[in-house]
Structure 1
Amino acid sequence: MDWRDRADYQAAILEDVEVRVRCGLHPWEQHPERPNRLLVSVEMFTAAAFDASGARAYLDYDRVREEILRWPSLDHTPLLEDLLARLTDFVFRDPLVEATRVRIKKPDIFSETRAAGVEWFRRRPA
């Protein structure tokens, strides 16, 4: 069953957060002075309307944005999947997040396409 098939859910969304990161396998991506421009999108899902204290639940996208904006300080990362794993683990630190969709695109990697990238949809591990 797709997450969106649920009757009720709440989502917090960050779309195309732009950040420059040293990443990639191609030789031209290995130069430390020329990081790749990435567009990072995150959706976080919960069925919770209220948190454990009874207050209205909300998914905090500010902390996720701040995490993404730290990426330029990372060492070179060969695979976008490593960044997906890092961000997915970070998103699940919020106990309200039951599922997440994370997408990373390189808009400047190939001239004949608008972008190339990867996406994960993950449910909270049991």
Structure 2
Amino acid sequence: MEHPRYADAARATRHMFIRDLVLNASIGVHAHEHAAPQRVRINVDLAVAEEDPRLSRPAVGQDELSRVVDYETIVNRVRFIVAAGHVQLVETLAERLCEACLADPRVHTARVRVEKLDIFADAAAAGVEVERRNRQLSTP
């Protein structure tokens, strides 16, 4: 399966990402997973609309935070959702994180990977990757 290009001049998008955010989460279906938090690693990839989608190479704009999707805002949303309470499935957590990212109308596509790090002694991680598109935007 081919993944979309997140930074793409033809679609006038830039790629914003968060790499390897490790948080403690109350997650899992088993009784022992309700007793204590587990480490999860979260990766976020966003395709973000450029300021002027008519231009394939827009001029450098003002050096202002309001022009871009703020990665600190995204990280704070992720932290808030993870801390909000117990979730049974990594799929549910990934979907919630995608929805939070897509709340910014400039985000065309959100891809979120959630990995449980300490679930199997003989594996680095187990988890899921989910990708969702902004419903308000037409597909390219």
- For residues 50-103 of structure 1, give each alpha carbon's deviation from its aligned partner in whole angstroms, at most 9, with x where no partner exists: 48xxx5642221111001222453221111122112111110111110001100
Q: CA RMSD in A?
A: 2.4
**1:18 partnered with 2:19:** no
Greater C-alpha radius of gyration: 2
Equivalent position to 1:41, from 43, 49, 54: 43
What is the TM-score normalised by the length of structure 1? 0.83
TM-score calculated relative to the size of structure 2: 0.76
Measure the CA separation in 1 of the matches of 2:25 and 2:42. 11
**Residue number in structure 2 paired with 1:27:** 31
- How many residues in Structure 1 have an aligned counterpart in Structure 2? 122
Could you list the runs of 5+ residues in structure 1 that have no partner in the other structure? none
Distance of aligned partners of 1:85 and 1:5 in 2 relative to their CA distance in 1, 3 Å threshold? closer
Equivalents in 1 of 2:20, 2:82: separation in Å? 16
**Moved beyond 6 Å, runs of 4+:** none
Which residue of structure 1 lines up, in the alignment, with residue 5 of structure 2? Answer: 4
Q: Which moved more, 1:110-119 or 1:21-30?
A: 21-30
Structure 2: segments with no counterpart, 5+ residues? 54-60
Q: How high is the sequence identity, in percent, across the aligned residues?
A: 28
